[in-house]
Amino acid sequence: MGETLRATLDDTLGPTLAELDKAALRRRLRPLDSGIGPRVTVDGRSVIQLCSNDYLGLSSHPLVKEATTNAVSNYGSGAGSARLIVGTSLPHVQLEARLATFKRTEAAVVLPSGYQANVGILQALTGPGDVIFSDELNHASIIDGCRLSRAAVEVYRHRDVNHLGTLLSVNAGARRRLIITETVFAMDGDLAPLNEIVAVAKRYNASIAVDEAHATGVFGATGAGLVEKYELWDSIDVQIGTLSKAVGALGGFIAGSQAVIDTVINSARTFIFTTGLPPMVAAAAQAAIQIIVDEPTRRTKLWRNASFLQEHLVAAGYTITETASPILPVLVGDSATSISLSETLLKNGVLVPAIRPPTVPPGTARLRVTPMATHTKSDLTTAVKVFTDAKQQLETR
């Protein structure tokens, strides 16, 4: 019986997978033989890696490793239960206090991933009778949070504050109005017009939540993000972020008033019904945040590496879409071409996978190039040469 059922299920899945293949949209996993770093080992070969979110190289920083190892000795591998049962330990409490200081809020709470932080905050703060205003390019986790909240959702055109204002004015009767935006857009590297969003939110008495996934560690004098860079602590109600990108570990966080954090703890399903982050990961994240604050030169190096790459890739004839961050979207357009470019690069020692729909809109397949602070000038010069040759190959095909 089981046999028959499995064959039937596979039969129904096969055509869909074949369609993905045909449209050059099938995705596959590529295991590394090494940890993450400026170079990684793929199929036994060392290649230059230009696609991680470990922007500052903190996942392998000696102080982070030491903090993690110590925490493993003291707390073992897992939290043991959900945070509200017996799954809260000293590293969680310390990390949450550190995050509140870092983000200059009354309080903060950590969830097992940034994905869960976005889904959780939207579901905890809004429901039927409320309206969420969401940028059209917001991350999938924000879209899923909108759905789970059961609030009405108004999607405004990308970074279009006039459109946002119009939608706010026609929803003036809603119980609660919450604007949510990424501050640095993950796939485009452009920035939300935060000052303008704050102004329009004040006019219509709306609250603001921002997702600083790609800004934390990268923007601001202490690396706290775009809210810090623009000094908007008093105007932004909720700062969401992840411990999985520049912080180099895993986890998500929400920082805000004590009332916001207590509401999350009491009603966010993605916080309540899931096991707490392993204490060792909380310890790793806390050590990494300390380094983000203490070593601003890492940020300087990241930005310098990004400018170098941007300048030379444009000189080689590539189109990089408007970016204002170290995320460099090399626009290709067609999915099949983006894959063949990516394969040519890998063959010659540079790893940057193609980003295709549905992660990005149809017709905008790209290579999302992200350097690390720890890439050397020689790594980048080699990468530029490989990109330049690949461009010529692509054109003479």
Ligand X SMILES: *Cc1c(COP(=O)(O)O)cnc(C)c1O
Interface residues with ligand X (CB under 6 A) are 113-115, 118, 139, 141, 182, 186, 211, 213-214, 242, 244, 252
Distances (CA, A) of 209 to 169, 179, 227, 254, 363: 19, 6, 11, 10, 30
Shortest Cβ distance from residue 21 to ligand X (Å)?
27
Shortest Cβ distance from residue 242 to ligand X (Å)?
4
Shortest Cβ distance from residue 141 to ligand X (Å)?
5
Return all residues near 45 (Cβ < 8 A) that are at least 6 apart.
Answer: 349
* Cα 352 to Cα 79: distance, rounded to the nearest angstrom: 35
Shortest Cβ distance from residue 117 to ligand X (Å)?
7
Strand runs labelled E in the chain: 39-42, 45-49, 107-111, 131-135, 152-156, 177-182, 207-211, 238-242, 252-256, 328-333, 350-351, 354-355, 365-369
338: left (phi over 0), alpha (psi -120 to 50) or beta: alpha
User: Which of residues 71 and 210 has its CB atom nearest to ligand X in the complex?
Assistant: 210
Return all residues near 377 (Cβ < 8 A) that are at least 6 apart.
Answer: 308
Shortest Cβ distance from residue 182 to ligand X (Å)?
5
Shortest Cβ distance from residue 241 to ligand X (Å)?
8
* Cα 126 to Cα 209: distance, rounded to the nearest angstrom: 12
Shortest Cβ distance from residue 147 to ligand X (Å)?
15
Residue 216 backbone dihedrals phi, psi, to 5 degrees: -65, 125
User: Which of residues 174 and 327 has its CB atom nearest to ligand X in the complex?
Assistant: 327
User: Which of residues 141 and 364 has its CB atom nearest to ligand X in the complex?
Assistant: 141
User: Are residues 178 and 207 in contact, defined by beta-carbon separation less than 8 angstroms?
Assistant: yes
User: Which of residues 232 and 386 has its CB atom nearest to ligand X in the complex?
Assistant: 232
User: Which of residues 59 and 340 has its CB atom nearest to ligand X in the complex?
Assistant: 59
SS3 39: strand
- Which residue's beta carbon is nearest to the bound ligand X? 114
User: Which of residues 143 and 316 has its CB atom nearest to ligand X in the complex?
Assistant: 143
Q: For residue 242, give the nearest of 272, 215, 213, 221 by alpha carbon.
A: 213
Shortest Cβ distance from residue 252 to ligand X (Å)?
5
User: Which of residues 38 and 114 has its CB atom nearest to ligand X in the complex?
Assistant: 114
Say if residue 124 is exposed, middle or buried (CB neighbours under 10 Å; 0-12, 13-18, 19+).
buried
* Cα 118 to Cα 140: distance, rounded to the nearest angstrom: 9
SS3 42: strand
The token pair at 174 is: 């809603």
User: Which of residues 95 and 386 has its CB atom nearest to ligand X in the complex?
Assistant: 95
User: Which of residues 70 and 321 has its CB atom nearest to ligand X in the complex?
Assistant: 321
User: Which of residues 230 and 308 has its CB atom nearest to ligand X in the complex?
Assistant: 230
Return all residues near 29 (Cβ < 8 A) that are at least 6 apart.
Answer: none
Shortest Cβ distance from residue 13 to ligand X (Å)?
26
Distances (CA, A) of 29 to 26, 32, 59, 69, 101: 10, 10, 21, 28, 38
Shortest Cβ distance from residue 204 to ligand X (Å)?
24
Return all residues near 109 (Cβ < 8 A) that are at least 6 apart.
Answer: 96, 253, 254, 261, 264, 265, 271
